Structure 1
Amino acid sequence: METTALNILFSAAFLLLVVVSGGIIYLTAAEWRDRRRQAREKRAAKADTKKAATKAVTKRK
């Protein structure tokens, strides 16, 4: 009886450890993906601004 209860508690603890670790890995990966996307959008916006500025200078000449 005592061994069965300990086995259930250890199994539950291990399952919780796996679930929490999986959640942390998921959140870390999602944050990494979002940072990459934001950096890519920032570079694209910067390039668009640079193109617009070059185009404006070219039109003035």
Structure 2
Amino acid sequence: MLSVYQRTPAKDFAGTSNKGKRFNCAPSFIFHLNDKSKVDQIKINWNHVDFIKQLNAYF
């Protein structure tokens, strides 16, 4: 399943100052299940370089 998030941060985030810019992000989620079939770990990956470029855009 693909999820795409489109947001405008309300404050400074991830080392960037808030410039009111929107970002689009399509993270991948990896769930690990324990021997009782319960989620015991979640890993999230995204293209952080692209994310920062979008937040620092000057246009």
> TM class by shorter-chain length?
under 0.3
Bigger strand fraction: 2
Bigger helix fraction: 1
Larger relative contact order (Cα-Cα within 8 Å, sequence gap ≥ 6): 2
TM-score by length of 2: 0.22
Which structure has the larger Rg over C-alpha atoms?
1
TM-score by length of 1: 0.22
